[in-house]
A = this chain, B = another copy of it.
């Protein structure tokens, strides 16, 4: 039932637990333990399948070899994929992952942070919710290793790993313009978070750069807290009151998914009646008929960079701040065709 402890090995080897600890931590040489004794201990440890008790070790050293991962929603395609690779990468360094979803809710995020502190995680990967500034600031001041993902807090310089939201949205806008579309709407959320702002900025910059008009009425913001049904109904209303649109850019994957649902319900044919691009890729976008053009995030790179930055902090107590911005890729599918009719 109970595991093998360092004492058991010590007893069998006829030495003190200290000696065993030194050897098993690779400090045999440094601590001048003889080759003979070292070998004997290592053999015994292997034979008894000794597994150090992480709790005891953690209690003494203050390190748990665990990292906390806070995502917006683990059931969301993007976050689930990142989480998976984060876990794999962390494992390579001997770290395990404790995770939780915030639903972008401040209270939930606070709760998660509290639990993670309580569990003494060594480092944090955080998708910050709105107004999480104070908590992030505190972690920063406590010099906790931490990386933000998907978004950052402009007021607080921290490590982060993100996709280039501006460029992604810019590329999408430019692409639609080059296909000949001119009446292009942007459907986004009311969220004031930086990633959403950047997507808005990138899109409008593309419009401006190509001297295309982008009137207010072509910008639809869906309340951040809206339920799925509310969001779908708002998008439908928007579509119905703007029947002459050429194309729509959806600023996140779930809005894009809702959009498809609206088009389906309203009998609007994607590609033929209207062009669409969505931020983020998704099985649905790939396999939908027609396929949905999207701005894909480099999920593998994001996850790898997150762990790399975190490990840097954990191991070298780095002072410098790492801010990684990765390029987004425009994946062209059939949801965007060249505009045929030159007049409405």
Q: Contact residues of A with B, CB < 8 Å? A: 1, 51-56, 58-59, 64, 66, 73-75, 77, 80-81, 83-84, 87, 91, 96-101, 114-115, 117-120, 142, 257, 260-261, 264, 282-284, 287-289
Contacts and interface: CB of A to CB of B under 8 A. Distances in A.
A120 B284 contact: no
A97 B115 CA distance: 11
A272 B96 CA distance: 49
Nearest to A261: B287
Contacts of A1: 142
Contacts of A114: 51
A287 B287 contact: no
Contact of A74 (B54, B55, B83): B83
A158 to B, nearest CB: 19
| Residue from the set A1, A56, A96, A118 with the largest chain B CB neighbour count within 10 Å | A96
14 contacts: A51-B114, A51-B117, A54-B118, A56-B59, A59-B59, A75-B83, A75-B84, A87-B99, A87-B100, A97-B99, A261-B287, A283-B283, A284-B284, A288-B288
Nearest to A264: B289
Contacts of A83: 74-75
Nearest to A100: B87
Contact of A53 (B54, B59, B260): B59
Contacts of A99: 87, 97, 99
A119 B54 contact: yes
Contacts of A56: 59
A264 to B, nearest CB: 6
Given A55-B59, A75-B84, A264-B287, 17 more contacts: A1-B142, A51-B117, A55-B120, A59-B59, A74-B84, A75-B80, A80-B80, A84-B101, A87-B99, A96-B119, A97-B98, A97-B99, A99-B99, A261-B287, A264-B289, A284-B287, A289-B289
